[in-house]
Structure 1
Amino acid sequence: MKTSSLSTSGLNGSIIKAFKLLEFFSPLKPSWGVRELARHIGANESTTYRMMSTLERLGILYKNPISEKYALGLKLYELGNRVDINDSFVHLTHPELEKVATEIEETVHLGILKDSSVLMVDKVESLKGLRLDSTVGQMSPLHCTGLGKVLLAFSNMPLRKKLMSDYDFDVYTENTKKTIPSMTTELNKIKKNGFAIDRQEFELGLICVAVPVFNQENKLVAALSAAGPSDRFKENSLNEYVEILKRGANNIKSKIGNYKI
């Protein structure tokens, strides 16, 4: 199992492994069997079983008595409701997401870089747009999402190289980028153009356009995106989508000052 760039010196390895295991439970893959997950992460089956069994005993995982597969338990929901993710940041940015969602008429997301993934910190659904299964607090891959590609493209070069040096290019659709050279070419293009597009790279039928969000020191703090069904996406309207998103990003910049995440 590959770990993130987090230094593990002086830390409890078992806890780190447990939390890395939990990150594999997602809206796209909400349940896992022991053998299935062990094979997926390249871990010993008996070790994986002990870890999942312990997490079940703590209420962090739930075991379906019929399928014998594990899913996230209610203890995480209980703990999650005690914490507001970057509450002060979202308090400042949320009104701007609402404006963008109203104007662009699609679901709008705000994401930040968290280790080697995108952490979604806010979401606003347009009343006229497609309702998506994405949730606040969800972790998504960097290489095949609009948010992730923007965060990679506009990160400083040492950080970008560090993130990509040990990165798993998991394939989600036939459009997913699979190699560092192809990813590097696209990231350079994204930085030049100022926006990224996810053309059904993470989920078939879904297209996402994203732009960077900077603070007033011009430091990258987040990415802002709009997502909608591919059959409604119009290439000739791309500039309009980007303009709306950039306007929203600039409005956020004016509100957050020198905020850093």
Structure 2
Amino acid sequence: MSTSATIGMIGFGAIGMEIASALDRLGESERLVATLVREGRAAPRAVHTAHDLLGAQPGVVIECAGHQAVRDYVPALLADGVDCIVSSIGVLADPDMAAILAAAEQAGGGRLLLPAGAIAGLDGLVAAALAGISQVTYTSYKPPHAWRGTLAEQAIDLDAPASEQVFFEGTAREAAAAYPKNANVSVAVGLAGIGIDATRVRLVSSREVSDPVGVIEAEGAFGRFRFDILALASPSNPKTSALTGYSLLQCARLGGAWPVFAMACAGRQA
């Protein structure tokens, strides 16, 4: 990926708006050549089909619109040779979709890329995986209101006065399937370390935090580490980190994203 690559974008919600605003502040708004949105939605250089997005000839495409957008558009982009930086990495919890994306990448040469900048500690996991990891746990603490509109409402009473309530414990694959808008980080942790079926995840509703806190813990032949990440919530979307958009943009501007399927070939299974 060229460090001067033009950028296409899928979606123009909270993350997409932050990316466009950052480009404006950097004086690089001309790098955004197209934004794929639904008919009727306003966005910078709006287009409405994958064909039109490809017609703008982006050097790299940033996805920031959710799992369905990955399913609908990213295979065609990969098959046309375009690198795609995917924020909704939890879509890989679906093995059928993972296979479709891998086949599209192999057919066209475009790479599915994982942005790491919003998640401190992933580089340590990648290195530790070579030395040998025996276990990885990712715990996500968010205030009760951030879990509204999810299956957490069926598992616990979000209005209960308890300081903390653990409402999910399972694998990263299970977490991403049940909480697709909240557990993308767990899949990223799994990809970087010992795989999404071996990575353990805990989801916690906590009155002790006002913004999302993620804790990555790993141990193995390399030793042991723990990363605590306080990621301030986006002002317009409490379910996502304010740093997410900047992570995606810096990967597009400067490189540094990780090729997902190359990681899998190195021993980390998607």
Q: TM-score, normalised by structure 2?
A: 0.29
Query: Which one has the bigger strand percentage?
Result: 2
Q: TM-score, normalised by structure 1?
A: 0.30
Higher-Rg member (1/2): 1
Higher relative contact order (CA 8 A, sep 6+): 2
Query: Which one has the bigger helix percentage?
Result: 1
